[in-house]
Every structure is written in structure tokens, then in C-alpha cells.
Structure 1
């Protein structure tokens, strides 16, 4: 019963505090409205929340976090130097279709976040059947090598973490 009434207690508390801060009042009426909103919104929206992901290999997750951190720094430097270097060497930006083996919704969301934080890549589109992904890549002179790197570096570890 309690789980249905408060499916996300931290979210409830955050909504109550946010309501009171935004209204700049702690009057009895505002507190009642804040509590009603804070309890009702998560309870009514609980069916829309995805199932909690099950992380099957936490060590792979830790390694992936390190790899993403390294790639963010490396990619930032590459984009920076590309902007500063002599314009005689062209940038090979392009749209790249990447076939996906990943199907888990949490893993796909993680892949989208990784793609977003690594400079030089932009997630553009996911096929309706989740079989392919369209990315815009800042500099990819060899498309096949980029696809192999992306799948090996990001997709495979996410498959181990979420789908094994």
C-alpha cells in the first residue's frame, strides 16, 4: 500500500520543496497544495516509469565510465585542435548509420547519454525497431572504423551490463 501511495519518496520530497520555493510561501494552504501535488504526481505517473534496470556486471559499468571519461577528454582535445589547426586539411564530418544489437531500453538510454556527452558526436535518430542509429560525427575519415570503434567501445559493454 505504501509503495503505491509513495512510489518515489525522494521525488515526492523534491516536488514538495520545489512547490514551496517557487511559490515563496510556507503558508498552510501552500503546504497542503505542495503535499497534494508531491504525493499525487508520482503516484499518477508511476505506470509511465520504466522498469528498474538490472545491472548484471557492475565492474564493466565502472570500466565503461572510465572509458567514457577518457573519450570525453580525448574528443574535446581533438575538436579543439581541429578548430585551431591550419584549414588546409578538411574535417570529415558525416552522418553515420550504425546497426545496433542493443535492445534494452535502459541500455539504449545510456548509449544516448554517452553519445551526447562525447564531443563531436550527436545522436540524431533511432530506428523505430531499434535496429539502427543515425549519428552525426564531427570527424570520421573512415566510416567503417568509426562504426567498429563505437560498437566495440560503447555498445558491447552496455550489452554486458544490461543484457547478459
Structure 2
């Protein structure tokens, strides 16, 4: 069954998305959407990464809540920094963070966290995955930021994926 439908949920999602985008349940759209949902995962199966093994779902839930809290607080900090940039300009900086996390799924999750938290931008990952370059909107203390980043995001991801 996995050879015919390598990703059944993806197939179903593609079919539903096709119907939603066309706003039509005509026979042609139903058939073409089903064909798209069937063929696309087959054609791109070699591009899919190996399935992730989540070792500690409780840690994943805690990380999700922590990132949610950080998104809210970072939004407020960035808004405050932008509003008061005339009096006190932000101290933007690029910082290099040494990484212990090397799992592809963990690094993908880390990149999404960097993207979703305002004030941080994932800039570059070393080829050997040992150092991450991040741009920070307003940086008070580089050492404190690195420690927060590693303890809040990297270590939980290592527990989840490695």
C-alpha cells in the first residue's frame, strides 16, 4: 500500500486543496484532483526525507508552548524597539551559535522556530552543521542570547529527535 500511496494524507490534502482552489465539485475537477493527489506523491517520493521519530512528545509539547510564549514576548519587544528607535536605536547583530544538534528534522524545526520568533532571522548554517549564523534585531548580551537559544530550543529538539 505504501508503494501505491506513499503519503495518503498528502494525497487527500492535495485532492481537497485542488477542489477548494477551483471552487467546483464538477466531475472533471474531482477526477483531476484525485489524479493529482495520486501522482504527485508518487513522483516526488524520492524527495521526501526519512520519517521523523519523535522520542519525547511531552518535551515537544513543552517546546511548542515555550515558542508560543517567546513569539508573544518577542512581538512586544520588537514593537517597542521599533516605536522607540528614534531615541534608542536597536543593537542589531549577527551571532554565531555553535550547534550540537545535527539531525535534519531537528534543524528544520529549529529553522522554523527562528523564522516564527520576531527579531531573529536564520541566516546561514555551516556545511558541517556545526555553526548557525543568526541575525538578531536587538541584542543586549550575546552570551546570554546564545545560552537562552541553546537551552530553550536546541536542547529540547535534541531530546525530541536525537
**TM-score, normalised with respect to structure 2:** 0.89
Cα distance in 2 for partners of 1:150, 1:21 equals 39
Aligned to 1:48: 47
How many corresponding residue pairs?
A: 162
* Residues 91-148 of structure 1: CA deviation (Å, up to 9, x unaligned): 1111111111101111001101111111100111111111111111011122122111
Aligned to 2:117: 118
**3-state SS of paired residue (2:3):** helix
Cα distance in 2 for partners of 1:51, 1:64 equals 22
Aligned to 1:35: 34
Gaps of 5+ in 1: none
Structure 2 CA distance for partners of 1:57 and 1:37, relative to 1, 3 Å: same
Structure 2 CA distance for partners of 1:69 and 1:23, relative to 1, 3 Å: closer
Gaps of 5+ in 2: none
Aligned positions of 1:76-155 closer than 5 A: 76-85=75-84, 87-155=86-154
Deviation at 1:40, TM superposition (A): 1.3
Structure 2 CA distance for partners of 1:131 and 1:34, relative to 1, 3 Å: same
Aligned to 2:74: 75
Deviation at 1:152, TM superposition (A): 1.2
Structure 2 CA distance for partners of 1:44 and 1:95, relative to 1, 3 Å: same
Aligned to 1:160: 159
RMSD between superposed Cα atoms in Å: 1.9
**3-state SS of paired residue (2:124):** strand
**3-state SS of paired residue (1:95):** strand
Cα distance in 2 for partners of 1:68, 1:26 equals 39
**3-state SS of paired residue (2:2):** helix
Cα distance in 2 for partners of 1:36, 1:86 equals 53
